[in-house]
Structure 1
Amino acid sequence: MNRYAGQRCFILGNGPSAGKVDLHTLKGETIISVSNGYLHADYAEISPRYHCVPQITYGRMTEQDVVAWFDEMHAKLGGAELFLNETEADLVQRHGLFPGRVVHYVALRESFDELKKRSIIDLTNPIPRVESVPVMCLITAMYMGFSEIYLIGVDHDHFKTEKYDYAFRLEAQAGKDFSVSTDGKVLTSWYDDFQSLARLWRQYRVLREIAEANGVSIVNVTPGGQLDEFQRGNLKVLLGGSR
């Protein structure tokens, strides 16, 4: 905890808006990437320090699919430390995955709706389950002590576009998401999707309240997107003013 007290970090999401950002400008910054984010064109150059993967939903994804995905991930992550849910620990051990890499396991067991205190969430204890991986990243970043956290490529706009797109082409995970068609069209009903979005927005609201209670600034510098729980900023202005 507090390894990076007073410092800033960037959470790099996989939304299509990230494709409009010159990621080269993030070189030298502390970056947390997510899920398939190692497929970003400039990933190797910006060299994220941490990578988060939330609990895995098995459906179209079999155990062998996950092994293939993790093998692809390991080959492209560079030196990033990895955060996984505890449910994947046995699979990683049995298949000898991520050799030589630092892997941290979190226990995604609790509920955000039952979280009454607004203190920094302790990663060494069971933590709330997340609706989307940027939520996991925000929990992790605040635990590590970052006082300025910037979100990039966190679009959450598929309910308007009716498609779930990425800033890159999927490889090992292509076609494995049961909630979308192979061309990215959302397959779940709006009723079910809006229930999920309501949970997600409540989680972001709680994290904003935790940040405000602990002197942490969370700024959304995503160009576009629908996430409105955090103040907006401009990445070019931010980096231009600091270099």
Structure 2
Amino acid sequence: MASALKKIGFLFSLFVPSGVDVFKQWRKDRAASSAEIVGLLKANRDLANRHQGERCFILGNGPSAKKLDLSKLKGETVFSVSNGYLFPGYGEFSPRYHCVPQITYGLMTEEDTVRWFNEMHEGLGNAELFLSSNEAALVRNQHLFPGRNVRYLSLSGSFDEWPDEDLVDISKAVPAVYSVPVMVLMIALYMGFKEIILLGVDHDQFLTSRYDYAFDLKIQKGKDITLNKDGSSSFSRYEEFRGLFRLWHQYRSIDKIARKNGVKIFNSTPGGALDEFPRKDFNEWFAVK
């Protein structure tokens, strides 16, 4: 995104008097102020230990989720992510929370994002929404998500700077994430959940050579700059493996924090490549004792 913004600024400088100043003001008008972000983050303090001692399910969008009877999630506390509102039967198990990480602009324009957020709002039911603070000004200026409780995370920095034993405090800046389940795990830990179960978190595109979803995309179809038109990765193996190392490192860091705070994270994804958490069959969570 930064390189694209620099190119726009250069064009302004060629065709508009004082073009760079105009561009800087354009960018400033679309960014939430530091004071506004601090206020938005402070609002998250009432989430601390909201679900003390409970369990939750984090539903990723990987194709493995099609193998699960998601109707069993009815009555459970569920986090959905990104385009997850497109799951067939979404309204039946009605996730309580929905999370979207920082948006990478490129093929995905600001206008596309507005359309996507409107589509999301229509599909989310009553879910409470978490976004990156990068989108706070856009939501405010475009009057998006009317009547919905929208919260923000300031995603910046690295887990290398975070002590292993400390829960990530989402009322302050938190590490940027390489995949949305990491964002959700930080939120779930802050909320006090003691059992966190991952579903549909496949991360196996380096094995399948494709990035697929459990449903058909709508607004976001063809907007991912990391994918070719056929769904294959646009990255070289070198770039892909560097990204996977960073992602796995984030999961390992989260697991260390969870363990030191008495929280258990399980992976109940049927298949997939993520091996940082113990496995437990999805159906076992609903077995009658």
- Shared topology, TM-score over 0.5? yes
Secondary structure of the structure 2 residue equivalent to 1:179: coil
Instruction: State the number of aligned residues.
Output: 242
The amino acid that maps onto 2:134 is T
Any conservation in 1 of the 2:164–2:253 contact (CA below 8 Å)? no
Secondary structure of the structure 2 residue equivalent to 1:104: strand
TM-score when scaled to structure 2? 0.83
Secondary structure of the structure 1 residue equivalent to 2:151: strand
Inter-partner Cα distance in structure 1 for 2:119 and 2:229 = 20
User: Is 1:85 aligned to residue 132 of structure 2?
Assistant: yes
* Aligned Cα root-mean-square deviation (Å): 0.8
Aligned to 1:97: 144
CA shift, 1:86, in A, is 0.5
Match of residue 132, structure 1, among 145, 162, 179? 179
CA shift, 1:106, in A, is 0.8
Match of residue 40, structure 1, among 87, 91, 110? 87
Any conservation in 2 of the 1:86–1:107 contact (CA below 8 Å)? yes
**Which of 109-118 and 166-175 deviates more?**
109-118
CA shift, 1:48, in A, is 0.2
The amino acid that maps onto 1:6 is G
CA shift, 1:241, in A, is 3.6
Secondary structure of the structure 1 residue equivalent to 2:206: helix
Aligned to 2:29: none
The amino acid that maps onto 1:56 is I
Aligned to 1:67: 114
CA shift, 1:118, in A, is 1.8
Inter-partner Cα distance in structure 2 for 1:59 and 1:112 = 26
The amino acid that maps onto 2:260 is A
CA shift, 1:187, in A, is 1.2
**Higher helix proportion (structure 1 or 2):** 2
The amino acid that maps onto 2:172 is N
User: Is 1:109 aligned to residue 156 of structure 2?
Assistant: yes
Which structure has more relative contact order (CA 8 Å, sep 6+)? It is 1
Aligned to 2:198: 151
User: Is 1:189 aligned to residue 236 of structure 2?
Assistant: yes
Query: Identity, % of aligned pairs?
Result: 57
Secondary structure of the structure 2 residue equivalent to 1:127: coil
Match of residue 282, structure 2, among 226, 231, 235? 235
Which structure is larger by alpha-carbon Rg, 1 or 2? 2
Inter-partner Cα distance in structure 2 for 1:133 and 1:117 = 20
CA shift, 1:186, in A, is 1.1
Any conservation in 2 of the 1:5–1:145 contact (CA below 8 Å)? yes
CA shift, 1:152, in A, is 0.2
**Higher strand proportion (structure 1 or 2):** 1
> What runs of 5+ residues in structure 1 fail to find an aligned partner?
none
Match of residue 220, structure 1, among 263, 267, 286? 267
Q: Deviations over 1:38-87 (max 9, x none)?
A: 00001111000000000000010000000010000000000000000100
User: Is 1:9 aligned to residue 56 of structure 2?
Assistant: yes
Any conservation in 2 of the 1:174–1:182 contact (CA below 8 Å)? no
The amino acid that maps onto 1:17 is S
Detail structure 1 runs of 4+ shifted over 2 Å in the superposition: none
**Which of 51-60 and 178-187 deviates more?**
178-187
Secondary structure of the structure 1 residue equivalent to 2:167: coil
TM-score when scaled to structure 1? 0.98
Inter-partner Cα distance in structure 2 for 1:118 and 1:74 = 36
CA shift, 1:117, in A, is 3.6
